[in-house]
Amino acid sequence: MRRIISILMENEPGALSRVVGLFSQRGYNIETLTVAPTEDETLSRLTMTTTGDEKKIEQITKHLNKLIEVVKLVDLTEGAHIEREIMLMKVKATGAQRAEVKRTVDIFRGQIVDVTATVYTVQLTGTTDKLEAFIAAIGETQVLEVVRSGVSGISRGEKVLSL
């Protein structure tokens, strides 16, 4: 099962490598990973997606919690949550395809953020599913380059992950 684990951790050198090291050392899998400082500059917010059965996820969260730099942790998939990923993509845009790509971008509520005679650079935000649907709609042969941010997430409602 796919899980989104969100972590508040000390914004210190070496903290990220401990999180990543834990995954390789215990044979867990990281699918996406994003990390950046928060409004409190002593803290970083890290979001990762991983897969595993209940037992494995329980071990992952327990071991993450044991890391000294991990201050708080939540498995967002346990409750209602919002997840977003940003994707930048260069798409071949020549001839008749130029209009077709533009229409598809509009349907997915993306934006064309850079243009040349033959290439559109598209920006798209959404869930992982939506981004994948967009790639499929554009057709892989059209795609020149893709860069994705990995999943960021936050819980719905009044619940907050803070100190």
Contact residues for another protein, defined by CB under 8 A: 9-10, 13-14, 17-18, 21, 25, 55, 58-59, 62-63, 65-66, 68-71, 163
Spatial CA neighbour of 81 closest among 162, 142, 159: 159
Q: Which is nearer to another protein, 37 or 137 (CB)?
A: 37
What is the spatial distance between Cα 23 and Cα 107, in angstroms, rounded to a whole number? 38
**Closest CB 11 distance from another protein, rounded Å:** 12
**Closest CB 31 distance from another protein, rounded Å:** 22
Q: Which is nearer to another protein, 136 or 163 (CB)?
A: 163
Q: Which is nearer to another protein, 13 or 95 (CB)?
A: 13
Spatial CA neighbour of 152 closest among 28, 36, 13: 36
Tell me the C-alpha to C-alpha distance, in Å, between residue 117 and each of 12, 55, 95, 99, 102: 45, 53, 10, 13, 14
Spatial CA neighbour of 90 closest among 66, 118, 48: 118
Q: Which is nearer to another protein, 53 or 140 (CB)?
A: 53
**Closest CB 149 distance from another protein, rounded Å:** 26
**Closest CB 25 distance from another protein, rounded Å:** 4
User: Other CB atoms closer than 10 Å to residue 3's CB: what's the count?
Assistant: 18
